[in-house]
């Protein structure tokens, strides 16, 4: 298929960006040309940004939301899959196994929580045991280690509250914080020179006469030699801007319940049902999160709109029924929140199941690299995917390594996790550690200030929540929300109307109580 | 270094203040109140409406005025208190770790009085379907934002739940120029006090839709619409009754949950019905020397009852400190029909005992019956009963003297 490139002259528009060149804050006026522009700041886009920052090239990442990771990346189970669910030879199998093996190191470099807690896939009927054996063989073909079929006695020993007759035990499966990882990748990329443009939505892309791309956004134009389409749910739309109708993404929603930490003793590992053949999900599972909650979900439902993140009463009922099957000890009283995420599926609803990841340079548009259908195990595979993308560019450009690259990044120190002596020393050093703002998650003023002061400059409450855990507990911000609003107002001079939950139009207050009063 | 105290009171709200003053009046010298906020009085400070103190002081006060009466006594009695101080640990040995800007402080107390109050049930806890936009507040948070921070939360309001804070906020928001479209209540009766329904809804022509709930929420940035529906007698949604209501704010007043995270740490057994500790006739929990009063024990209807309960339990505190609190024998308490719960859940010593309870549904001309086996111990008539109101009945030590099992029911 021929493409219709618009022939236009380069118009140099100068825009002001806040960029961190080699770790230093600089407010500068820059030309808007970059060697590489990445579209989409999910975990994969941010991992690509970080991988590219190892080289001497200029990179920009454009994200339509007010922070990174607000799409698929913050709305999944946070599981670092081992890789036995995927067909041997596929990218999903290869990259997942690779990602799983190097995940601990990645998290260590980026100061992101990670725990190898293991997983059991639980059979409740005789006929499901065969499927366990098939998964084991498949996993072994993919290179997954230490898979074991266990009987109900051993299952009882591992997970005394789970009902089942046999299970596939995978000790290599791990958990992480998907949003903290995305943020960490972005922060490290920023520190190593990548420019981040938030609230920046790509409207159209054209190839110029000099073979550069011109990328039109709501925040002005960018030009680049390469474009990486890592737009997740909208990757079909972005691809369509240069190459008509090649891909199609079908949104497939999954709803979750979040349980109170007080219920976390019920399980030790990830508890999965045996996946149903042809299903585009792994079934309703029980996921201990890195923060100590349990997630129940996700459901698996094709929907029409890509931004419809509703939860529904039918699915909530179904989640409760599934819970009764596997873990009758969990009660509806343990629920503190529900939410949903949306998978970026290539497999159409009529077909179901999975298609493999697409990670390739467009064969009709040079230097345009597409990442399509990155659904599960996208989190586990994020780094290998990024390396593969860099590999594509490296083959053509022979990139020069940047010896200044710093792989390490420090996250926000969690007061609650420290021993008593450290806590004392912290408060002595900075009294803000002594002020606990979020009671449920024991988050101090210091941590919240660090979250507000984040390097990417995201100031929405959700951004503060993901970074600090404030508002994530059982009272859901009942105690700390007003206090955090005050910190935003006093510390950053935001007016009441400027305090937002998650981006534009999500204002929390309509103003002061009375128009006459202006404090 | 561990500092020793006779009595540590966790929480400087209505319950904590009344308990502190009452302890001092009984002659206890070494008391410390620990409060996480920057002032004493707790949630009373944001309750700027009146109607407090009718029972206790025989006059109608605002929340801050009611609190001030106790704060004045605390200061007069020179009872020490810590502000801006969060208890981060409470052990079964009654050791307390407090965090504040000065550092971590360790205490060991002979008696702990739990007075942490309660928190509001959230949208997540009741699983309302829909999106998760800005503009959904629990009524108490909205009350704090408006009354203490001087902010306005929205202009076109729907309130779900007819708890008292929701009713109070319906009036408050109306007075501030917002349009409160309705209060929807899933039950066939209100969970708020009748006086609040009259003064906060009917006086302002705000409709109360009973047997109605919110079944969907729309809006991505800010909430833009809710779907209301009627529910049938079994609580199932009647599909035909669904209707959309445009709004920019949804306020929730759907229940309060006693705040017992510290109690759990200390090994205190909680009741699955009240959400508060299982307490005996002295307000003592299963952990000797740990007492509870106020909303942390059971959610109260009016603050006067909180103060009365706090004062009532300090007798047991005194007895405990003097080594006079010995279990004599256990009277089993059996919850009979018509009642949601009763406090205390156990009785170990025979004394005049106040029983607090709530009924399951509204009724007229009802009797509370206390029975020991087939023998009637006490009967009390109530012309009207309402789940919104906490009922209190006192049994004397004589009445309890020969009882082994006490069954309480409503007829």
Q: Write the DSSP string, B91-129.
A: -TT-EEEEEETTEEEEEEEEEEEE---EEE--HHHHT--
Beta carbons of A477 and B141 less than 8 Å apart: yes
pLDDT below 70 — which residues of chain B? none
- In the numeric block, the tokens 């909530």 are attached to A316
Beta carbons of A507 and B222 less than 8 Å apart: yes
Is A500 part of the contact surface with chain B (CB cutoff 8 Å)? Answer: yes
Which CA distances in Å does A52 have to A181, A399, B123? 17, 9, 42
* H/E stretch holding A232: none
Among A263, A301, A305, A310, most B C-beta atoms within 10 A, so best to mutate, is A310
B-chain CB neighbours of A432 within 8 Å are: 101
Q: Which of residues 240-279 of A touch B (CB under 8 A)?
A: 257-258, 262
Q: What is the model's pLDDT at position A516? A: 52
Beta carbons of A506 and B133 less than 8 Å apart: yes
Chain centroid to CA B347: 22
A-chain CB neighbours of B215 within 8 Å are: 313
Alpha-carbon gap, residue B315 to B305, rounded angstroms: 16
pLDDT below 70 — which residues of chain A? 1-30, 515-519
CA of A499 vs chain B CAs: smallest distance (Å): 10
Contact indicator for A172, A33 with CB cutoff of 8 Å: no
A-chain CB neighbours of B88 within 8 Å are: 436, 442
Residue B82 phi/psi, 5-degree rounding, is: -110, 135
A-chain CB neighbours of B222 within 8 Å are: 505-507
Alpha-carbon gap, residue A200 to A61, rounded angstroms: 9
Among B45, B96, B103, most A C-beta atoms within 10 A, so best to mutate, is B103
**Which residues of A does the annotation mark as catalytic?**
81
Alpha-carbon gap, residue B317 to B15, rounded angstroms: 14
* ipTM of the prediction greater than 0.90, yes or no: yes
CB atoms within 10 A of CB A494: 15
Q: What is the model's pLDDT at position B184? A: 98
Q: Is the backbone of residue A125 left (phi > 0), alpha (psi -120 to 50) or beta?
A: beta
Q: Label residues A290-321 b or e (16+ Cβ within 10 Å = b).
A: bbebbbbbbbbbbbeebeebbbbeebbebbbe
Provide the token pair at A307. Answer: 């931004």
Contacts for A15 with CB less than 8 Å, ≥ 6 apart: A29, A30, A32, A219, A220
A431: nearest CA partner in chain B? B101
Alpha-carbon gap, residue A370 to A390, rounded angstroms: 12
A-chain CB neighbours of B119 within 8 Å are: 474-475, 478-479
Q: Which of residues 309-368 of A touch B (CB under 8 A)?
A: 309-313, 316, 332, 335-339
CA of B132 vs chain A CAs: smallest distance (Å): 7
CA of B146 vs chain A CAs: smallest distance (Å): 6
Contact indicator for B106, B195 with CB cutoff of 8 Å: no
Beta carbons of A338 and B127 less than 8 Å apart: yes
Alpha-carbon gap, residue A476 to B159, rounded angstroms: 18
Contact indicator for A39, A179 with CB cutoff of 8 Å: no
Q: Which of residues 459-498 of A touch B (CB under 8 A)?
A: 474-479, 481-482, 485-486, 496
B-chain CB neighbours of A448 within 8 Å are: none
Chain centroid to CA B306: 8
Q: What is the model's pLDDT at position A46? A: 98
Beta carbons of A310 and B135 less than 8 Å apart: no
Q: What is the model's pLDDT at position A5? A: 39
Q: What letter would DSSP give residue A472?
A: -
* H/E stretch holding A384: helix A378-397
Is A518 part of the contact surface with chain B (CB cutoff 8 Å)? Answer: no
CA A83, A74, A438 angle in degrees (round to 5)? Answer: 125
Provide the token pair at B189. Answer: 């009766």
Burial of B337 (0-12, 13-18, 19+ CB in 10 A): exposed
B-chain CB neighbours of A511 within 8 Å are: 151-152
pTM: 0.94
Among the listed residues B187, B167, B229, B160, the one whose alpha carbon sits nearest the alpha carbon of residue B362: B187
Q: What is the model's pLDDT at position B326? A: 82
CB atoms within 10 A of CB A158: 17
């Amino acid at each position: 298929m021929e493409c219709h490139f618009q022939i236009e002259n380069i118009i140099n528009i100068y825009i002001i960006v806040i960029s961190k060149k080699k770790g230093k804050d600089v407010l500068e006026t820059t030309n808007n040309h970059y060697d590489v522009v990445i579209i989409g700041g999910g975990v994969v886009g941010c991992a690509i940004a970080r991988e590219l920052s190892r080289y001497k090239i200029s990179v920009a990442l454009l994200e339509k939301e007010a922070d990174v990771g607000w799409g698929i990346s913050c709305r999944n189970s946070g599981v670092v899959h081992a890789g036995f669910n995927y067909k041997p030879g596929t990218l999903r199998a290869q990259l997942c196994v690779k990602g799983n093996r190097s995940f601990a190191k990645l998290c260590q470099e980026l100061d992101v929580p990670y725990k190898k807690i293991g997983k059991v896939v639980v059979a409740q009927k005789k006929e499901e045991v065969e499927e366990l054996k098939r998964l084991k063989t498949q996993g072994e073909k993919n290179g997954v280690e230490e898979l074991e079929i266990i009987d109900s006695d051993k299952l009882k020993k591992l997970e005394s509250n789970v009902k089942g007759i046999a299970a596939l035990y995978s000790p290599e499966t791990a958990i992480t914080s998907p949003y903290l990882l995305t943020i960490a990748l972005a922060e490290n990329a920023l520190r190593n020179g990548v420019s981040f443009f938030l609230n920046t939505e790509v409207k159209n892309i054209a190839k110029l006469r000099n073979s550069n791309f011109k990328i039109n956004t709501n925040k002005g134009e960018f030009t680049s030699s390469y474009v990486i389409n890592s737009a997740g749910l909208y990757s079909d739309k972005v691809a369509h801007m240069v190459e008509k109708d090649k891909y199609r993404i079908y949104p497939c929603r999954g709803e979750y319940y979040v349980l109170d930490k007080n219920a976390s003793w019920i399980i030790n590992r990830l508890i999965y049902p045996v996946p149903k053949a042809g299903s585009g999900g792994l079934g309703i599972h029980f996921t201990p999160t890195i923060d100590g909650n349990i997630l129940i979900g996700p459901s698996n439902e094709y929907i029409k709109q890509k931004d419809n993140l509703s939860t529904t009463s039918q699915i909530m009922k179904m989640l409760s029924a599934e819970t009764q099957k596997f873990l009758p000890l969990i009660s509806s009283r343990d629920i503190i929140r529900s939410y949903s995420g949306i998978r970026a599926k290539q497999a159409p609803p009529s077909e179901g199941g999975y298609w493999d990841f697409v990670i390739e340079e467009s064969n009709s548009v040079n230097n345009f690299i597409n990442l399509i259908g990155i659904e599960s195990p996208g989190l586990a595979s994020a780094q290998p995917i990024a390396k593969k993308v860099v590999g594509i560019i490296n083959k053509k450009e022979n990139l020069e390594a940047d010896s200044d690259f710093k792989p390490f990044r420090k996250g926000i120190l969690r007061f609650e996790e420290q021993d008593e002596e450290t806590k004392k020393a912290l408060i002595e050093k900075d009294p803000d550690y002594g002020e606990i703002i979020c009671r449920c998650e024991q988050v101090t003023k210091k941590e919240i200030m660090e979250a507000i002061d984040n390097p990417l400059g995201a100031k929405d409450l959700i951004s503060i929540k993901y970074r600090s855990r404030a508002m994530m507990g059982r009272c859901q911000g009942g105690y700390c929300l007003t206090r955090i609003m005050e910190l935003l107002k006093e510390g950053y001079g935001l007016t009441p109307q400027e305090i937002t939950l998650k981006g534009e139009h999500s204002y929390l207050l309509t103003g002061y109580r009375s128009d006459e009063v202006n404090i | 270094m561990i500092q020793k105290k006779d009595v540590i009171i966790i929480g400087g709200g209505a319950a904590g203040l009344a308990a502190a003053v009452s302890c001092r009046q009984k002659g206890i010298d070494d008391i410390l109140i620990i409060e996480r906020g920057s002032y004493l009085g707790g949630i009373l400070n944001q309750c700027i409406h009146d109607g407090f103190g009718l029972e206790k002081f025989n006059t109608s006060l605002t929340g801050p005025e009611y609190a001030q009466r106790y704060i004045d006594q605390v200061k007069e009695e020179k009872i020490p208190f810590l502000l801006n101080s969060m208890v981060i640990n409470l052990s079964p040995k009654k050791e307390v770790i407090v965090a504040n800007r000065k550092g971590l402080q360790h205490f060991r107390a002979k008696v702990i009085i739990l007075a942490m109050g309660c928190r509001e049930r959230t949208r997540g806890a009741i699983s309302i379907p829909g999106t998760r936009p800005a503009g959904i507040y629990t009524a108490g948070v909205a009350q704090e934002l408006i009354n203490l921070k001087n902010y306005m939360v929205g202009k076109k309001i729907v309130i779900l739940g007819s708890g008292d804070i929701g009713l109070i906020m319906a009036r408050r928001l109306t007075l501030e120029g917002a349009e409160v479209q309705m209060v929807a209540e899933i039950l066939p009766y209100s969970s708020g006090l009748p006086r609040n329904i009259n003064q906060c809804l009917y006086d302002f022509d705000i409709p109360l839709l009973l047997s109605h709930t919110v079944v969907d929420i729309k809006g991505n940035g800010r909430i833009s619409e809710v779907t209301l529906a009627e529910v049938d007698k079994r609580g199932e949604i009647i599909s035909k009754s669904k209707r959309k209501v445009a709004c920019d704010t949804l306020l929730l007043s759907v229940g309060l949950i006693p705040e017992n995270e510290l109690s759990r740490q200390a090994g205190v057994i909680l009741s699955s019905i009240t959400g508060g500790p299982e307490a005996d006739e002295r307000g003592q929990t299963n952990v000797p020397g740990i007492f509870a009063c106020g909303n942390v024990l059971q959610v109260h209807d009016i603050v006067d009852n909180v103060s009365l309960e706090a004062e009532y339990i300090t007798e047991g505190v005194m007895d405990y400190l003097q080594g006079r609190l010995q279990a004599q024998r256990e009277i089993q308490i059996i919850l009979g029909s018509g009642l949601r719960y009763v406090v205390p859940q156990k009785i170990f010593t025979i004394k005049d005992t106040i029983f607090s309870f709530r009924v399951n549904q509204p009724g007229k001309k009802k009797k509370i019956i206390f029975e020991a086996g087939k023998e009637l111990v006490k009967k009390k008539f109530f012309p009207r009963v309402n789940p919104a109101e906490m009922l209190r009945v006192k049994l004397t030590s004589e009445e309890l003297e020969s009882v082994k099992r006490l069954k309480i029911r409503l007829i």
